[in-house]
Structure formats: structure tokens, C-alpha cells
Amino acid sequence: MSIRERNMRLRSTANKSAPVVHKSEPTVSGLAPVVPKDSGVIYVAYGSKAIDMAKKSIEILRYFNNKIPVSVISDQEIEDVNNIYHEDTDSGARFIKTSIYFLSPYKRTLYLDADTELKSDPTSYFSLLDKVDLVMGQDVTRIFNKTTHPHLVQEEVEATIEETDGGEFIQYNTGVIFFRKCDAVEKLMRAWHEEWKRWKRQDQPAMFRAMYRHPVRIAPMREPFNTHHSAKAKVVFHAHRRASREGSPK
């Protein structure tokens, strides 16, 4: 056997026996990516289902990285997090969700819907905020005017398309948002809140209109970043509407 053949066999054997560890998961040594200064995760949780799901999401988040600060906006107190009290305003908690920029105590924030489940440590995405303003996943229906969601208010859909030159742009899922504090994002988030108040239903069309009026730098992620297909999820599995209360927009 030649030296080259022997080395190839040794490498093959080593590869077969080596454990496979996802690069974002904690290793045996317990090390995880360092959390950037003034960064943290924030949830909005109203109602028993949302609070229970947020607790589960936080537990999984801390499995991957137990150093990251966590805040929860709610009218109930949750143990072992930074509680931000805000009265319950609407059944879908969209008034508060569209106010997260102003309620977050962090300079760099990861907002997670209560019905999300982490599949890996999201910490490394904070570094993208050195170069962009937002990190978001593209919606399954990427172009807004192709949206066929049966529960959207048709009047709002039509108005959104008309007000955005035909709606021929990418729309983003608002259940997972990395954002940084800066003037451009503040204008966007203020507009998101004001746009939501026009129909007071879903918040995603409102974000689409706000982005059209106040463009920011976005790092667009594809489906494995944030998806409702658990088997495909690489960062976030989104169990859409499982935390919803009675009367909340579907």
C-alpha cells in the first residue's frame, strides 16, 4: 500500500468516527458564541398560551446560549427574565408588537414571536447588524401582490398594492426580526406602528407599507432561517398562530 493510499484510508476512517456537531450548538466544553454588548432577545406574550410558548422558546434559547439577555413584554410576570410591563391593548398584541423598537432595552435586538422555537444559536446574526439595519426572513409568498392569505383584510391588501406602486417587492415575515437602534430604523418602526393602526389587524402588510416609505438596509434570509416546516428549519421553527387568543387576527 502506498503512503498516499494509507493517508486516504486514515482520513476516511477518521471522518466516519468523528461526531457531528452543529456549528451553532453548545459543544462539550460548554462554549457558545459571545453575545455582542448591548444585545438581547425580546418577546411579546399575552394570554396563557402565548406565555407558555414564550417560556418554552426561552428555555430552548438558553440551551443554545445561556448568556444572552432576555426580556418579555407582558401584563404578567415571568421568572428569570427582564419583565417589561405593558397593559393588554388588543387580542393580537399587535399594538405592542409594532412598538418593540421603543420598548426594547437593547441597542441590538432579536424579536421573536412567542410561538417560535430555536433550532440553533442565533447569536452570530447580531454581527450582521454591523453592516445592515435589519435581518429578516422572506415571506413564503415572496412578492406582496401574489399574497393569497385568506384572512387578510381585502381592503388593506388592495390599498397596500396601490400605495406601493403595485406591490412588486419582497415582503418579510415579521415573526423574527433582528434590528439595531438608529435613526433609519426608528423612522421605519414608527411608521410600522402608525400603518398598523389604520386597520388594526395583521402587522405584516403594515410593515410592507412602512418599508416602502422608509427603506432600510436589510439582510434577507431564505426559508431555512425562519419557516413553519420544522424539518427544514435551521435557525427558527415558527409554529404560526399556535399562541393566538380568541378574537386575534389569524
Q: Which residue has the higher pLDDT, 15 or 2?
A: 2
pLDDT digits (tens, 9 = 90+) for 123-176: 999 999 999 999 999 998 899 999 988 889 999 999 999 999 999 999 999 999
Domain boundaries, the chain: 33-238
The predicted-structure confidence for 90-111, as pLDDT tens digits, reads as follows 999 999 999 999 999 999 999 9
Sole residue written with cell 417589561 = 84
Residue 245's pLDDT is: 54
Residue 217's closest CA among 179, 176, 244? 179
User: What's the chain's average pLDDT?
Assistant: 87
Q: How confident is the model at residue 116 (pLDDT cuts 50, 70, 90)?
A: very high
C-alpha cell at 87: 397593559
Q: Which residues have C-beta within 8 Å of that of residue 30, sequence separation ≥ 6?
A: none
C-alpha distances out from residue 68 to 49, 108, 210, Å: 24, 12, 30
The hierarchical CATH code for the domain 33-238 is 3.90.550.10
Let me know if 162 is exposed, middle or buried by CB neighbors in 10 A (0-12, 13-18, 19+).
exposed
What pLDDT was estimated at residue 8?
43
Which band of pLDDT confidence, cut at 50, 70 and 90, is reported for residue 77?
A: very high
Q: Are 120 and 232 a contacting pair, CB within 8 Å?
A: no
What is the pLDDT, as a whole number, of residue 223? Answer: 86
pLDDT of 16 over the 50 cut: no
198-228 per-position pLDDT tens digit? 999 999 999 999 999 999 999 999 989 999 8
Whether 138 contacts 182, CB under 8 Å: no
What are the respective helix, strand and coil percentages of the chain, to the nearest 5? 40, 20, 40
Alpha helices in 32-153 (DSSP H): 48-64, 94-97, 100-103
Output the pLDDT for position 32: 61
